[in-house]
Chain A
């Protein structure tokens, strides 16, 4: 009897929680649906009214106009090259540095770790101009290297990997140490395979950041043929795009977001795990 009551009460709680989750999900989805709706309406119509979630009158011209632009595939390619290279390099640097901070003993380790952590507190804008001038002096702007290099040393990535490696039981390495395995062998053969969930999470966040990056590519890639998709799509907007070309702006937003949405759908469990991991730390 009492068990049945408890079950009933648990079910009620579940229903309330589910209802709240659904309500919040709908609330979060409204802007997304609105964006998609507007992307499927003519610009002249949107100038009069942006209200409503039904795309009528309907048009796919906003998407056609994007696809027809000869430069768009090139911009997508640049974004892809930048995002993939940045992700790979961040994973290499963060995992190696994280392992060193977690497991190796070397002089000034604690000080270096603190300096690295201090990097978390320096806003990007504070180093923006020196960074820009430095790359200009080296003649590197308008190259893929300039788009990727400043983003490779990521304190949060090193911190995340350090914390992950610290949590790995020592016993797993001791067996390898008895076999006189080098630090790199231990890192490569034992630690790295164990850290796949953490690496996947870090990799996904890095890829998403790289894909959405706007400010640095805006000033570093000033040639249209070197634009990434975010800068390129912004460059084709007219002066009063938010009133006169709203449908085109929204189509650009949907178009540029699609690769990330697909990535999210494929890897969502890692992203959720990553957020949970971040919260746990």
Chain B
């Protein structure tokens, strides 16, 4: 009898301890893409020891869980990249709204305009995130209607990835070792022809078949280089079927018509062509840098001598397409003050470790990180540091993904079905106008 009472008391004490333990750990849900690599990085507690987008973000969450002193625990949920925004939207109805979520700046207005995100300026001030340290373009992308909704985390922009050996064979390497790149539309075509003649390879490889729209990003860059905003700042007007638009589109069509790029390549195909030494320049984003660098260094790829260059100013100022990954707090009426505090602490931790994320190949959005010696020491970063200044994004308007998708279909028609630039642009203008009318 005495024993059973003692056991009951012990059981009660254990249960109470358990409850107390649970109550002190504030769990916050963390919704993101970038994949699941628990198998490789589940036990890595220092972000500095991880590599790649998935590895670094996994280790950052682990590190926060191990080091934070407020008893917060981040529980990660990964979602397929392609379906990410559908599932994030669905959580507002299914009831498991995440506390912190990743978001592209191009998608931000779709959520902020519907009042689905928590404004963060006050929270940032409270936890000590210095917004003045952000690159202006990134801060602008995180803000809609004068309200700050996100922590900008990177700038990812188009780059020219270069096979230096092929460039040297074509005579396009300067004495100082820098790569000679075209500075006008005419030069791009003439250099491309010369390259093809001397090397027998394609001058350019890029995704030309699927929905990645790499050439739309280049076309937009060419528009900004000519001083034309594809979308007006208020997001109500599109300037597509314009003389500048036609010049840019005509150049892109000429690249294919002159056989300087292979129309048959999809995204992986373009990467394979570049790694196998079949093209001089790969037009792709910042996210590829570390991968191509390690492939070149592995000695197993035909590409041996890899370099990176900013997209040159073919039409003027070297403006280039860019987007940003950001962290947001989706609105949730059921979130407790403790959960909000833990979520803000995690966002602050991510911001403090922005340099680790810059190791993925993306550009940092913190001026202090860009100016740091650690950043300059990362492979190739100094070669494309100017991209942070040249980076240009569409204004923060709704349905940018829909606009991008419509533009991709119509622009791709130039080399896939032989549509003339003027017709392609007219179709693009019509599709985009239709979407913009819906936004009003």
Chain B min CB distance to A239 (Å): 5
Give Cα distance in the complex from A238 to B56, angstroms. Answer: 12
* Interface pair B93/A236, CB less than 8 Å apart: no
Give Cα distance in the complex from A240 to B212, angstroms. Answer: 11
* Interface pair A222/B39, CB less than 8 Å apart: no
Give Cα distance in the complex from A47 to B273, angstroms. Answer: 10
Give Cα distance in the complex from A231 to B53, angstroms. Answer: 21
B residues in contact with A244, CB < 8 Å = 291
* Interface pair B291/A238, CB less than 8 Å apart: no
Give Cα distance in the complex from A209 to B38, angstroms. Answer: 30
Which residues 233-284 of B sit at the A interface, judged by CB distance below 8 A?
Answer: 267-268, 271-272, 275-276
Give Cα distance in the complex from A234 to B87, angstroms. Answer: 12
Which residues 217-233 of A sit at the B interface, judged by CB distance below 8 A?
Answer: 218-220, 222-224, 231
* Interface pair B86/A69, CB less than 8 Å apart: no
A residues in contact with B295, CB < 8 Å = 44, 47-48
A264 located at the interface, meaning its Cβ lies under 8 Å from any Cβ of chain B in the complex = no
Which residues 153-180 of A sit at the B interface, judged by CB distance below 8 A?
Answer: none
Give Cα distance in the complex from A141 to B93, angstroms. Answer: 8
How many interface residues does B have (CB within 8 Å)?
Answer: 38
* Interface pair B272/A238, CB less than 8 Å apart: no
Which residues 282-298 of B sit at the A interface, judged by CB distance below 8 A?
Answer: 287, 291, 295, 298
A residues in contact with B38, CB < 8 Å = 69-70
* Interface pair A136/B272, CB less than 8 Å apart: no
Known: A68-B39, A243-B268. A44 touches B33 (CB 8 A): no
Give Cα distance in the complex from A44 to B295, angstroms. Answer: 8
* Interface pair B35/A245, CB less than 8 Å apart: yes
Known: A142-B94, A223-B96. A48 touches B80 (CB 8 A): no
* Interface pair A48/B300, CB less than 8 Å apart: yes
Give Cα distance in the complex from A241 to B93, angstroms. Answer: 29
A200 located at the interface, meaning its Cβ lies under 8 Å from any Cβ of chain B in the complex = no
B301 located at the interface, meaning its Cβ lies under 8 Å from any Cβ of chain A in the complex = yes
B residues in contact with A223, CB < 8 Å = 77, 94, 96
Chain B min CB distance to A123 (Å): 17
What is the total of A-B residue contacts with beta carbons within 8 Å?
102
Nearest chain B residue, comparing its CB with the CB of A142: B94
Which residues 69-115 of B sit at the A interface, judged by CB distance below 8 A?
Answer: 77-83, 86-87, 90-91, 93-96
Chain A min CB distance to B155 (Å): 16
Known: A47-B275, A48-B300, A245-B35. A218 touches B94 (CB 8 A): no
Chain A min CB distance to B203 (Å): 21
* Interface pair A220/B33, CB less than 8 Å apart: no
* Interface pair A69/B39, CB less than 8 Å apart: yes
How many interface residues does A have (CB within 8 Å)?
Answer: 37
B151 located at the interface, meaning its Cβ lies under 8 Å from any Cβ of chain A in the complex = no
Known: A48-B295, A219-B86, A244-B291. A238 touches B53 (CB 8 A): yes
Chain A min CB distance to B217 (Å): 15
A2 located at the interface, meaning its Cβ lies under 8 Å from any Cβ of chain B in the complex = no
Give Cα distance in the complex from A93 to B77, angstroms. Answer: 36
* Interface pair B94/A220, CB less than 8 Å apart: yes
Main SS of the interface on chain B?
helix
Chain A min CB distance to B265 (Å): 11
Main SS of the interface on chain A?
helix
Chain A min CB distance to B326 (Å): 15
* Interface pair A219/B96, CB less than 8 Å apart: no
* Interface pair A48/B272, CB less than 8 Å apart: yes
Chain A min CB distance to B383 (Å): 21
A185 located at the interface, meaning its Cβ lies under 8 Å from any Cβ of chain B in the complex = no
* Interface pair B90/A219, CB less than 8 Å apart: yes
B54 located at the interface, meaning its Cβ lies under 8 Å from any Cβ of chain A in the complex = yes
* Interface pair B96/A238, CB less than 8 Å apart: no
Give Cα distance in the complex from A64 to B272, angstroms. Answer: 26
Per-position binary interface string of chain B over residues 139-174, scored 1 when its CB falls under 8 Å from any chain A CB and 0 otherwise: 000000000000000000000000000000000000
Known: A141-B95, A240-B287. A44 touches B35 (CB 8 A): no
Give Cα distance in the complex from A223 to B29, angstroms. Answer: 10
Nearest chain B residue, comparing its CB with the CB of A248: B35
Chain A min CB distance to B127 (Å): 27
Give Cα distance in the complex from A139 to B276, angstroms. Answer: 53
Partner of A132, one of B35, B82, B93, B272: B93
Known: A132-B93, A222-B87. A237 touches B81 (CB 8 A): yes
B residues in contact with A48, CB < 8 Å = 272, 275-276, 295, 300-301
Chain B min CB distance to A64 (Å): 8
Residues in chain A within 8 A of chain B (CB atoms):
44-45, 47-50, 64-65, 68-70, 132-133, 136, 139, 141-142, 218-220, 222-224, 231, 234-246
> What are 5 A-B contacts defined by CB distance under 8 Å?
A50-B268, A142-B95, A222-B96, A235-B79, A242-B267
